[in-house]
Structures are given as C-alpha cells and as structure tokens.
A and B are shown apart, each in its own frame.
Chain A
Amino acid sequence: MALDTTQIQDKLTETFGSAVFQYQQEKDIFSFEVNADKITAVILFLKNDETTRFNFLTDLCAIHYPENEADRQFAVVYHLHNWYENIRIKIKVYINGETPEIKTVSSIFLSANWMERETYDFYGINFIGHPQLKRILNMDEMVSFPMRKEFPMEDGGRTDKDDRFFGRTIDNC
C-alpha cells in the first residue's frame, strides 16, 4: 500500500478544503501551498495521520520574492519526509513582507527550533510562539537580515577592492 500523491491531496482537501491549494508535481517532489494561518494544523495533521505519516521535517527555510505583491513577499518552505514509505513533500507558505510572521512548528517538530532561528537570522521572519527566537549563526549585534535581496552581496568594509579590477567600470583609470 504505497502512499500515493493523490491520496495525500484527497486527505488534505477533505480536511482543510481550500486552505491547501496549488497542488503540483515539481520535478519529482509533490508540492502545494498552504494558507499561513493553517500551517501548524496542516503539518500536525500530516505528521499524525495514519496514512500520511510524515514523521520527519527535513528542512525549513525561507525565500524572498521582492517582486511579488505585498502579501506574498516571503515564502516559508517546509520539506517533510515519510520514513515508512520514503516519500517527500514540499509545502510553501506565502507571507506578508511588511510584517513577516508565521506560527512556529517547533512544538510539532523539535528540530524546527534551530531551523526557525536560522530563518529568522537570515530573513527576519518572526515565528510566533518560538521558545527562543534569536540569531543563531550571525553575530548578535547584526541589525540586517543578510539573505534578503536588498542586502548588498559584498561587505562594505573592504578597502582594497577596486572596481576597475573586477570589470565594473568601463574606463581603466
């Protein structure tokens, strides 16, 4: 009784209706979108349901889409893995760019604790209910969120780097 993607889709539509949508096969991974307010319920359901049994959170991260409309500026991506049948799924949740916040899943998967801290560290997304939402990799004094697209690629403190040697100015003078 291998778990079929249609089964997952049917289960989700049955339980959550239109809060889960945009089902699609992206390359070899079944993906869908979830409304931000339903994300914890959906993940808890997928984890505990007897047929889906997605018992492992492989990854949690974010994507910045500065070109999107205000309500879809950030996407939080969840990768779940069913160890019993070796099936993976990807869930995307779009959230607002002005106040990027979403409920934490660290109470469902403990591993999400550090992943959410990392996502906060790099994108500034506020995970509501997270037990210790503070920077994890970057230094505490940092004020910016470096993976946001508006953040400059290079460090401004570099003094020896001359644009001429990197083909960034036309005239070599």
Chain B
Amino acid sequence: MSNSNINMVEPPEGVVGEGFFATKLNDVVGLARANSLWPLPFATSCCGIEFMATMASHYDLARFGSERVSFSPRQADMLMVMGTISKKMAPILRQVYEQMAEPRWVIAVGACASSGGIFDTYSVLQGIDKVIPVDVYVPGCPPRPEQIVDGVMKLQEIVKNESVRRRNSPEYQELLASYNIK
C-alpha cells in the first residue's frame, strides 16, 4: 500500500489505545452515512445534464461515496431534484420522497428546483420546498458540476453532524407534519 494514492477518511475524534479506539456512536454513524450517500436523481431538464457530467469520469461524484446511483427510492439516501418541477409533477415527486427510507436527504439543484426559476407561472411549482423538505439548495441555471459537487459536500457536512436520534425527534416529526408527510 506504500505507493497507493487511495485516500482514506479521517477517523472521528476519539481515544486511541493499544488495540482499541473509542469514540461516539453519533460520529461513527455520521461518518459512515456521509461517505456512502446513494443518490436518487430526479432529473427533468438541463440541470440533469449537468448531473450526468457530475457523475461522469471528469468530475466523478463516486469519489464522495456516491458510487451507486440508485434508481429505486427505497435504496437511496439522497434525493437530487434537478430541473423544473411542474405542479402536475409535484405529487409524483412527493411520492418518490415518501418511498425513500429514513434517513433521507434532499438536494434541490438549480434555480427551478429551488424556487421555480424563471418559470413564475401557473403550471410550475415555485420550488420543491413547497411539497418536500429540502436540506441543501444549489444555485445556478444550470449549476456547473463543481457546484453540484459542492452541494453534495455541504450535505455530507450536514449528515456527519446529524444526531442519530434526529429522525425520532418531535421537531423532525413536526417538520414532516408541516408537509403532511407521514
């Protein structure tokens, strides 16, 4: 392994001794989750094209542990919504989100997914946060792959620092209830 250039993730803070390493469960779980976020792309337009570039060899989102793009909501951790979501599409997006297992995170990529973008009109949903909770917003129209990667890294920070109990907390239940999601 001497001339290998494989990068390893830094271990969390803890106590090291001979033959043991003690740290907080929160940190270990966060570390594991953050470095194996399986994305579920929900691409409807040009931001989806940028996402293809993000996944391809040049930018390579797989470097961040997002090796496997899951096209099944049940095996995905990170819903990436890229592109204009029309009001007719909104219930489908919501259903996809509901099918995802906890813990689940959402990135809104691009102006349309974040706010409706230039489509301030009767048929377009004015931001996906009208129907599902969003963790990270990536600005741009469309954003460059670097920006999408940056968004994923921001999400990794959130995931690392999230308490393992967060999903059971009354605040989180309240958040879901405000979106009418069970």
Chain A: minimal CB distance from B139 (Å): 12
Chain A: minimal CB distance from B81 (Å): 17
Give B100-139 interface residues, CB cut-off 8 Å to A. 115-116, 120-124, 126, 130
- Is the beta-carbon distance between B124 and A155 smaller than 8 angstroms? yes
Asked whether any CB of chain A lies closer than 8 Å to the CB of B58, the reply is no
A-B pair number, CB within 8 angstroms = 33
Which A residues fall within an 8 A CB radius of B?
137-139, 142, 144, 146, 151, 153-155, 157-161
- Is the beta-carbon distance between A151 and B87 smaller than 8 angstroms? no
- Is the beta-carbon distance between A157 and B123 smaller than 8 angstroms? no
Q: CA–CA, A159 to B122, complex, Å?
A: 14
Q: CA–CA, A157 to B90, complex, Å?
A: 14
Chain B: minimal CB distance from A140 (Å): 8
A158's partner among B87, B88, B123, B126 (CB-CB below 8 A) is B126
Which B residues fall within an 8 A CB radius of A?
86-88, 115-116, 120-124, 126, 130
By a CB distance below 8 angstroms, the chain B residues around A144 are: 122
Query: Are A153 and B115 also in contact (CB < 8 A) when A139-B87, A139-B88, A158-B126 are?
Result: no
> What 4 additional pairs, Cβ within 8 angstroms, besides A155-B124, A158-B120?
A137-B88, A142-B87, A146-B123, A160-B115
By a CB distance below 8 angstroms, the chain B residues around A154 are: 120-121
Q: CA–CA, A54 to B48, complex, Å?
A: 44
Q: Which residue of A lies closest to B121 (CB)?
A: A155
Q: CA–CA, A158 to B120, complex, Å?
A: 7
Q: Which residue of B lies closest to A141 (CB)?
A: B87
- Is the beta-carbon distance between A153 and B126 smaller than 8 angstroms? no
Q: CA–CA, A69 to B123, complex, Å?
A: 30
Q: CA–CA, A138 to B87, complex, Å?
A: 8
Q: Which residue of A lies closest to B123 (CB)?
A: A138
A151's partner among B116, B122, B130 (CB-CB below 8 A) is B122
